[in-house]
């Protein structure tokens, strides 16, 4: 596996592959790899000839009081893990090269970004769509793989690609979980042992919601939200950012719960660690 740090180099390599008729795939990440990241890389490996993984902790998508400075990182560790699943190129650009003095462009997707995580983290999705647009232009992939763990992000990226005519196929990968149900996340490394039960309440809340839907002929959105909140608020460490049942594609609130609905959760543990989870409730 080759490690590349400049846009000029990664673009030249990708162009060389493309001229040879090889298909290129990109997995954008912020590093500190876990099995969720590795599953995306393996998915890309199955689909393309050359897999590029980008590793960039993007300052544009962090708010002023968020965890940019403490975000876990270890390039050597990540290189070993990526190489182990057959990644060809690890692209780890420097922040100053990504955003040199004078950088003035912002990519904004309207609508889909206004609620949910967009409501709690103003400017977050502009940071995501701006960096992903740059990464697409730098790495020139045919295919890019994103996780459903960040469900709203995936919907926003699909919209971006459609609206700006990026000739890239977007693949969504299901959430990878720990055996105990916790959705894997780099931020789980912040959890102390006595915070684990609280962190598990997200997936347990989802299970409760699914059980409710199975056992009742018809279940209302409010019943689902109440059941999830009840499970989460058993833990005093938990603060709910949102519990919403929305349409999978439009992300608009659902009036009825059906197979098009998705339950999305964001919960803060001890006001420090923001965890996300989501699942279909019916037909999962």
Q: Tell me which residues touch ligand AMP (CB under 6 A).
A: 29-30, 36-37, 40, 146-147, 149-150, 173, 175-176, 183-186
- Name the strands in the sheet holding 261-269, side by side, starting at the edge strand that comes first in the sequence: 238-247, 261-269, 273-280
Minimum distance, C-beta of residue 55 to ligand AMP, in the bound complex (Å) = 8
CA distance linking residue 77 with residue 11, whole number of Å: 25
Task: Identify whether 235 is a catalytic site residue.
Answer: no
Q: Say if residues 28 and 132 touch (Cβ distance below 8 Å).
A: yes
Q: Are 212 and 245 in contact (CB under 8 A)?
A: no
CB of 219 to ligand AMP, least distance (A): 26
Q: Closer CB to ligand AMP, residue 32 or residue 212?
A: 32
Nearer to ligand AMP, 18 or 73 (CB): 73
Structure-block tokens of residue 7:
């846009």
* Pairing state between β 273-280 and 261-269: antiparallel
Kindly tell me which of 155 and 221 has the beta carbon lying closer to ligand AMP.
155
Query: Measured from the CB of residue 217, what is the shortest distance to ligand AMP in angstroms?
Result: 32
Residue 283 burial by CB count (10 A; 0-12/13-18/19+): exposed, middle or buried? exposed
Q: Considering the complex, what minimum distance in angstroms separates the CB of residue 94 from ligand AMP?
A: 18
Nearer to ligand AMP, 23 or 177 (CB): 177
Q: Is 2 helix (H, G, I), strand (E, B) or coil?
A: strand
The catalytic position among 37, 124, 142, 235 is 37
Cα–Cα distance measured from residue 44 to residue 51, given in angstroms and rounded to the nearest whole number:
6
In the complex, which residue's CB is closest to ligand AMP? 147
Q: Which residues form the catalytic set?
A: 37
């Amino acid at each position: 596996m080759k490690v590349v740090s400049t846009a000029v180099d990664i673009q030249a390599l990708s162009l060389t592959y493309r001229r040879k008729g090889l298909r290129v795939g990109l997995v954008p990440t912020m590093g500190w790899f876990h099995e969720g990241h590795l599953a995306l890389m393996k998915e890309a490996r199955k689909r393309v000839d050359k897999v590029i993984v980008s590793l960039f902790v993007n300052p544009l998508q962090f708010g002023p009081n968020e965890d940019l400075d403490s975000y876990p990182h270890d390039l050597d560790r990540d290189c070993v893990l990526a190489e182990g699943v057959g990644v060809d190129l690890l692209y780890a650009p420097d922040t100053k090269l990504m955003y040199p003095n004078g950088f003035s462009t912002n990519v904004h997707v309207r609508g889909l970004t206004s609620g949910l995580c967009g409501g709690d983290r103003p400017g977050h999705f502009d940071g995501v769509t701006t960096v992903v647009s740059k990464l697409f232009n730098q790495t020139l992939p045919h295919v890019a793989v994103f996780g459903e763990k960040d469900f709203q992000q995936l919907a926003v990226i699909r919209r971006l690609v459609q609206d700006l005519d990026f000739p890239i196929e977007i693949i969504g990968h299901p959430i990878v979980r720990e055996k105990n149900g916790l959705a894997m996340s780099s931020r789980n490394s912040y959890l102390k042992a006595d915070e684990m039960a609280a962190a598990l309440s997200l997936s347990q809340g989802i299970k409760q919601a699914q059980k409710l839907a199975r056992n009742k002929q018809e279940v209302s959105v409010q019943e689902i939200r109440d059941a999830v909140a009840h499970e989460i608020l058993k833990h005093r460490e938990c603060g709910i950012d949102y519990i919403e049942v929305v349409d999978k594609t439009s992300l608009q609130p659902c009036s009825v719960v059906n197979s098009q609905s998705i339950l999305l959760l964001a919960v803060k543990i001890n006001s420090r660690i923001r965890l996300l989870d989501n699942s279909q409730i019916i037909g999962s």
